[in-house]
Structure 1
Amino acid sequence: MSRLYFYLFVILFSGTVFNRIYAQPNTGEFINASVGLGIVAPNDESEIDGSGFYAQAEYVWAPRTWFGVRPYAGLIIASGESDEDEIQGLSIKSNAALLGAKIRLVAPIPYVAPFIESGVGMSIGSFETHTEYTNLKKDGVLLHIPFTVGLALGRRHKVEVKFTYYYHDAVDQFSGAAAFGLSFPINND
C-alpha cells in the first residue's frame, strides 16, 4: 500500500510541474492521458479480485465547460487467484484493449470539479471468471459499459483523479482502475 501512496504522490507532483495542461472544465479540444492501478473483480459474491496495470488516452471535445465527448483507447491487464487453501482454483483475469466513447458531465467548480462519465465500448482480449458461482472464459470482442467518477483538481484543473470501471456482462466481471490523468490542449486558442 505504501507503494501506491508513492505513485500517487509522484503523479500529483508531476502534474503541478506542467504549466499548459487543463482538465475539461475548459472548452476546446484536448488529449487526455491516464494511468493507474488496474483492478478486476467478479459481479457475483465471490471473495476474489485481481490487480494490474491500466492506461488510457482520450480525445476530448468539450463544447461547454460542463459537457464533453470523449472517444478513448486504452489497455487493462489485471488478474488474480485465490490465496485460501480450501478454495483453490478460483481465478479472474481481464487482459484487453479498450475502445469506445463516453460523455462527461462536470460541475465546473473552482479548484475541485467533480465529474461523472458513461458511454459504450468494446473490449478486445482475453477474459476469465472462475469463482464458486461462475465459470466463464472468453476470447475476442466483448461489449462493455464504462463508468467513471472523479475530480479535476487545481486552480486551472490541471490534474484528474478518478475511479473508472468497465462492466463486462458477458463474463460476469468488471475491470477498471484508480487512475490519474493529465490533459494537453490541441490548440492554444
Structure 2
Amino acid sequence: MEQLWPFSDPFWAIYWPGGQALARYLLSNPGVSQGKRVLDLGCGCGASAIAAKFCGASHVVANDIDPVAAIATQLNCELNGLNPLPCDTENVIGSEPKGYDLILLGDMFYEEALADSLHSWLNRCIQTHRTHVLIGDPGRAQFEGHSIRRLLRQEAQFELPKAVREENYGLTCSTVWRYLPEL
C-alpha cells in the first residue's frame, strides 16, 4: 500500500464517528442548515458539508488544513451528484470570525490544546455573528474530560455500525452536541 499511497495517516480518508453523527443529524433535521451559511471545520471527507448542502444550506464551506481532505471532499461531492463545494485549507481557528450561521465540528476535540483554542474561537464567532455550533463526538476521553463539556446540550445520539465500533476501540455511539457557552 505504501507504494500506491505516499501519505501517512490519511485522517481525511476516514468517515469519523463524530462526522457521521453530524451528517445523520442534519439529514434527519434539514431545517437546522436550510438557508444557512455553514462552515464544516475540520471537514475530513466532507460528509457533514455535503449533508448541509443536501438539506438546503445557502452556502457551505468545507475547511481542513490537509489539502488532500479538500480533494476527498470534492470527490465525495462528485460521487453524491453535487457541484464542488468551496474548500478552504487555511487554519481558520483564531482568525477573525466570518459570518457563518452554523459551524459543524466532527471529531475535533482530540487534544486539549486544540480544544482550548476552539473554545476561544467559537466564543468569538458566537459573540460576533450569533453563530450556532454543533459538535459531533463519540465520547473520546479528551472530549469527555474537557471543561467545554459543561457548555454542551445533547441534541441526538446515534449507534455506530459494527465496523466503525471496531475501528474506534469499541466506542458504541456518537453524539451531536449544541455548544452553548456562557457569554
The alignment's TM-score, normalised by the length of structure 2, stands at 0.26
More strand by share: 1
**Over alpha carbons, which structure has the higher Rg?**
1
The alignment's TM-score, normalised by the length of structure 1, stands at 0.26
